[in-house]
């Protein structure tokens, strides 16, 4: 009889520990790598460090970037995120940021930058996929995610560049598919499958 009580007590204790751990983790989520690098969604638009092209005023940018060693050249800010990743925040307007380009110069080192799977988990399926071998680019209304894919796209494929732009100037998803380069999203598949599934406009 004591053994049954002991087992029941241990089971109850374990359920409290597991339940408490789950509640703590769900109420205190650790930031993922995208957020750690500054990628997020601001008012339903992709943004970087809280800056959204076409929406963020230039006079708001300097305070946001105070924690970086920032170099400014006319209407452009250049920042280094780590030893191989840099960002340029630029525009052709004195009022709003128009373009953000984040470049990963060491794509072979997966620990230096989020993978394509992490971007897909955050931002969902792209509206188009642009192919210009070995370049594959996932196209969103105001963002593109670029990889060098020689054989097969996987969740762990390294990203070499991310561009966020003012979709009011040009929304590539509204331009539509073209027979030579732009294809529909086929998921994680080989480059051959993408290039052999051209969509006629």
The predicted structure's pLDDT at residue 122: 95
**Domain match, 76 and 103 both:** yes
Mapped onto helix, strand or coil, the DSSP state of residue 148 is strand
**Domain match, 24 and 121 both:** no
Count the alpha carbons within 13 Å of 155 in the hemisphere toward its beta carbon.
Answer: 6
The predicted structure's pLDDT at residue 13: 41
15 is written with which tokens?
A: 């359920």
Instruction: Tell me, yes or no, whether 182 lies in a domain.
Output: yes
Count the alpha carbons within 13 Å of 141 in the hemisphere toward its beta carbon.
Answer: 11
pLDDT tens digits, one per residue of 168-194: 777 778 765 554 567 889 999 998 888
Instruction: Tell me, yes or no, whether 65 lies in a domain.
Output: yes
The predicted structure's pLDDT at residue 16: 38
**Domain match, 64 and 14 both:** no
Look up the pTM and report it. Answer: 0.78
Asked if residues 163 and 101 have their Cβ atoms less than 8 Å apart, the reply is: yes
pLDDT tens digits, one per residue of 98-144: 999 999 998 767 678 999 999 999 999 999 998 888 889 999 999 99
180 is written with which tokens?
A: 């030579």
**Structural domain of 19:** 1-30
42 backbone dihedrals φ, ψ, rounded to 5°: -120, 115
pLDDT tens digits, one per residue of 2-48: 545 444 454 444 343 334 333 333 333 445 889 999 999 999 999 99
The predicted structure's pLDDT at residue 187: 92
Asked if residues 42 and 143 have their Cβ atoms less than 8 Å apart, the reply is: no
The predicted structure's pLDDT at residue 66: 80
**Domain match, 150 and 160 both:** yes
Instruction: Please tell me which residue, 199 or 119, carries the higher pLDDT value.
Output: 119
Instruction: Tell me, yes or no, whether 167 lies in a domain.
Output: yes
Instruction: Tell me, yes or no, whether 130 lies in a domain.
Output: yes
**Domain match, 4 and 87 both:** no
Asked if residues 136 and 129 have their Cβ atoms less than 8 Å apart, the reply is: yes
Per-residue pLDDT averaged across 56-66, rounded? Answer: 85
């Amino acid at each position: 009889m004591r053994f049954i009580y002991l087992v029941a007590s241990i089971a109850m204790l374990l359920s409290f520990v597991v339940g408490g751990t789950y509640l703590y983790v769900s109420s205190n989520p650790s930031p993922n790598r995208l957020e750690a690098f500054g990628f997020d969604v601001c008012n339903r638009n992709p943004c970087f460090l809280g800056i959204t092209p076409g929406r963020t005023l230039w006079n708001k940018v300097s305070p946001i970037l105070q924690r970086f060693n920032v170099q400014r050249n006319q209407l452009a800010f250049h920042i280094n995120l780590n030893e191989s990743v840099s960002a340029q925040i630029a525009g052709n307007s004195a009022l709003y940021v128009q373009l953000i380009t984040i470049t990963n110069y060491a794509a072979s080192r997966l620990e230096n930058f989020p993978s394509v799977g992490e971007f897909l988990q955050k931002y969902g399926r792209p509206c188009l996929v642009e192919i210009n071998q070995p370049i594959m680019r996932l196209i969103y209304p105001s963002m593109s995610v670029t990889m060098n894919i020689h054989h097969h796209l996987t969740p762990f494929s390294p990203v070499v560049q991310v561009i966020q732009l003012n979709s009011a100037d040009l929304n590539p998803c509204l331009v539509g598919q073209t027979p030579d380069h732009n294809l529909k999203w086929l998921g994680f598949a080989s480059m051959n499958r993408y290039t052999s599934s051209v969509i006629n406009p």
